C-alpha cells in the first residue's frame, strides 16, 4: 500500500490535498524529538499547560468558519453542521481543562499504624503518545485524547486520517501559535495502514490511541503483540434503539431519524438498528416516514442540505450491499417519496451519494442488523416486548453505545475510554511514594 496521501472530496470526486507521507525513518526522528521534548513539557506547571490549551481553543474558535468549510470539502458533512463540530470540540476541550486538576491530583495514602511514614501516589506522564484519528468527526475525536495527553505532560504525535489531513495541519499550527513547544505536538501524515503498524512499534512510543474499524484495531493489537504497548481503541459499533409501547412516537421518531441519518449515518454512535414494540410499530414507521420526507440530500456546501455524500465509492458499495441483502431476504423498502433522494437528478455527478432508506420486516439474518453499515439506513424490526428487545439489542459482537444506555466500549468495540471523568486515566502512570518522616 502506498504511503502517499491523495484526499478526494466525497462530494465532487476531486483531489483536494496531496502529501508524500511520513516515512518510517522520518517517524523515528519525530519520536526522538518528542522524547527529547518530554522533560521540558513536564517542567511546565499544570496551570501553564492549561493556559496554552485554552489559548489554542480560542484560536480554533476564532477560525471556525474556515475550518468548517475545509471539513465539509474533506469529508462531506453539510456546511450547516460543520461549525457545530468546532463549537462542540471547544466545549469538550474546556471541559477537559476544567477537570484536569482533579484528574491529575496526587492520591494520598492511608497512614495506618505507621504514623512516621508518609505515603502518596503521583500521576506521571507515560511519554510520547501517538494519536491516530478518524475522519467522521475528526475535531471531536482528536480533542478527546489530545487535550488529556498534553495536560498530563505527554508529547504527542498526531496522525490525522488521510481523508481529513488538514485537521492535523490546523491543530498543529494553532497549538504552536498558542505557545506549545514545537516538538511537543508533531504531525505524522501516513497514508499506509501497514506503515502505521510499523510506526507504533518504535520503542519510545509509550501509548497509542486509535479510532477506526474493529478490523484495523485488531490488526494493531497483533502488530504490537511482541512488546507491552498500551492501546486505547475506539472501534466499530452497531448501535440499537428500542421504542416501547408508551413512547411519544412523534418525538422519538424525530430523534431516532436524526440519530440514524445525521452525518449521513457515518458515526460510531449512529442508530444502526431499531426495535419497535408491536403495538406501535406501524404508527412509528409512519412517523419515521414523515420525518425522513423533510430531509434534503445534496450539495454539502448548500446551507439547506441536511444530508451529504458518504465518504467514498467503497462506502457506497457496502451500503448498497447491505440494502440488497436485506431486500433479498424479505425486507421491504418503506422510504417515503422525496425528490432529492433521486441520485440521478442531483446536480453533482461525481460524488459518493446514497439515498437515506427505511427498511421494515428486517431480521437478524440480514447484514444490516449484524454488521456496521455506516450509512443513512434505518432498519426497523417489530418485537413483542421489552424482553425480546433487550435480547436482540445485546445479540451483537459490538457494544459501543445504545439509545438510553451509557456511552462505553465493550466486546469488539474497543479498549479503554475517552472523554468523561476517566478521560485522563490512560495518559499517566502511577508512582507510589513512601517517605519515612522520622529516623530511628
Structural domains counted in the chain: 2
88 and 18 within one domain? yes
| 420 shares a domain with 307 | no
Written as tens digits, the pLDDT of the chain (440 aa) is: 689 999 999 999 999 999 999 999 999 999 999 999 999 999 999 999 999 999 999 999 999 999 999 999 999 999 999 999 999 999 999 999 999 999 999 988 876 666 677 888 899 999 999 999 999 999 999 999 999 999 999 999 999 999 999 999 999 999 999 999 999 999 999 999 999 999 999 999 999 999 988 888 898 999 998 898 999 888 877 899 999 999 999 999 999 999 999 999 999 889 999 999 999 999 999 999 999 999 999 999 999 999 999 999 999 999 999 999 999 999 999 999 999 999 999 988 889 999 999 999 999 999 999 999 999 999 999 999 999 999 999 988 765 555 444 344 555 555 666 777 889 999 999 888 878 777 65
**The CATH number of the domain where 272 resides is what?**
3.40.309.10
Residues 111, 169: one domain?
Answer: yes
Active-site annotation, residues: 234
Q: Output the domain CATH number for residue 10.
A: 3.40.605.10
- The reply to whether 353 and 432 lie within a common domain is no
Same domain, 383 and 335: yes
Residues contacting residue 138 through CB under 8 Å, at least 6 positions apart: 71, 75, 160, 161, 164, 167
Please check whether residues 265 and 230 belong to one and the same domain.
no
Write down the residue that cell numbers 406501535 correspond to: 280
Residues 281 and 204 both lie in one domain: no
Residues 150 and 165 in one domain: yes
Same domain, 38 and 59: yes
Burial tier of 269 (Cβ tally within 10 Å: 0-12, 13-18, 19+): middle
Query: Domain range spanning residue 341?
Result: 239-405
The verdict on 156 and 102 lying in the same domain is: yes
Amino acid at each position: 500500500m502506498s504511503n502517499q496521501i491523495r484526499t478526494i472530496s466525497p462530494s465532487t470526486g476531486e483531489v483536494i490535498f496531496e502529501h508524500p507521507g511520513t516515512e518510517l525513518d522520518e517517524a523515528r526522528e519525530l519520536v526522538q524529538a518528542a522524547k527529547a521534548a518530554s522533560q521540558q513539557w513536564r517542567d511546565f506547571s499544570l496551570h501553564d499547560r492549561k493556559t496554552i490549551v485554552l489559548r489554542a481553543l480560542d484560536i480554533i474558535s476564532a477560525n471556525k468558519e474556515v475550518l468548517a468549510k475545509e471539513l465539509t470539502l474533506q469529508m462531506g458533512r453539510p456546511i450547516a453542521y460543520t461549525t457545530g463540530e468546532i463549537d462542540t470540540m471547544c466545549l469538550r476541550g474546556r471541559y477537559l481543562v476544567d477537570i484536569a486538576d482533579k484528574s491529575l491530583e496526587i492520591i494520598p495514602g492511608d497512614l495506618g499504624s505507621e504514623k512516621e511514614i508518609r505515603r502518596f501516589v503521583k500521576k506521571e506522564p507515560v511519554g510520547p503518545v501517538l494519536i491516530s484519528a478518524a475522519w467522521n468527526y475528526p475535531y471531536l475525536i482528536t480533542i478527546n485524547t489530545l487535550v488529556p495527553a498534553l495536560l498530563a505532560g505527554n508529547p504527542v504525535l498526531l496522525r490525522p486520517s488521510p481523508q481529513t489531513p488538514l485537521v492535523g495541519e490546523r491543530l498543529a499550527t494553532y497549538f504552536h501559535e498558542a505557545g506549545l513547544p514545537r516538538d511537543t505536538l508533531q504531525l505524522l501524515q501516513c497514508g499506509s495502514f501497514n506503515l502505521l503498524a510499523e510506526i507504533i512499534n518504535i520503542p519510545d512510543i509509550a501509548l497509542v490511541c486509535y479510532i477506526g474499524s474493529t478490523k484495523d484495531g485488531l490488526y494493531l493489537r497483533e502488530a504490537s503483540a511482541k512488546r507491552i504497548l498500551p492501546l486505547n481503541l475506539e472501534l466499530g459499533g452497531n448501535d440499537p434503539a428500542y421504542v416501547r409501547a408508551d413512547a411519544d412516537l412523534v418525538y422519538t421518531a424525530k430523534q431516532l431519524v436524526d440519530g440514524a441519518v445525521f452525518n449521513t449515518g457515518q458515526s460510531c454512535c449512529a442508530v444502526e438498528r431499531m426495535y419497535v414494540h408491536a403495538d406501535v410499530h406501524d404508527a412509528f414507521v409512519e412517523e419515521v416516514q414523515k420525518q425522513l420526507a423533510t430531509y434534503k440530500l445534496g450539495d454539502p456546501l448548500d446551507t439547506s442540505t441536511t444530508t451529504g455524500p458518504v465518504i467514498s465509492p467503497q462506502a457506497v458499495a457496502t451500503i448498497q450491499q447491505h440494502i440488497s441483502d436485506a431486500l433479498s431476504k424479505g425486507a421491504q423498502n418503506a422510504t417515503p417519496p422525496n425528490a432529492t433522494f433521486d441520485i440521478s437528478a442531483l446536480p453533482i455527478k461525481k460524488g459518493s451519494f446514497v439515498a437515506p432508506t427505511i427498511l421494515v420486516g428486517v431480521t437478524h439474518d440480514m447484514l444490516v442488523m449484524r454488521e456496521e453499515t455506516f450509512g443513512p439506513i434505518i432498519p426497523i424490526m417489530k418485537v413483542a416486548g421489552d424482553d425480546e428487545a433487550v435480547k436482540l439489542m445485546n445479540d451483537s459482537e459490538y457494544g459501543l453505545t445504545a439509545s438510553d444506555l451509557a456511552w462505553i466500549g465493550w466486546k469488539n468495540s474497543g479498549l479503554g475510554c475517552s472523554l468523561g471523568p476517566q478521560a485522563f486515566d490512560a495518559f499517566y502512570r502511577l508512582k507510589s511514594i513512601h517517605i519515612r518522616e522520622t529516623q530511628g
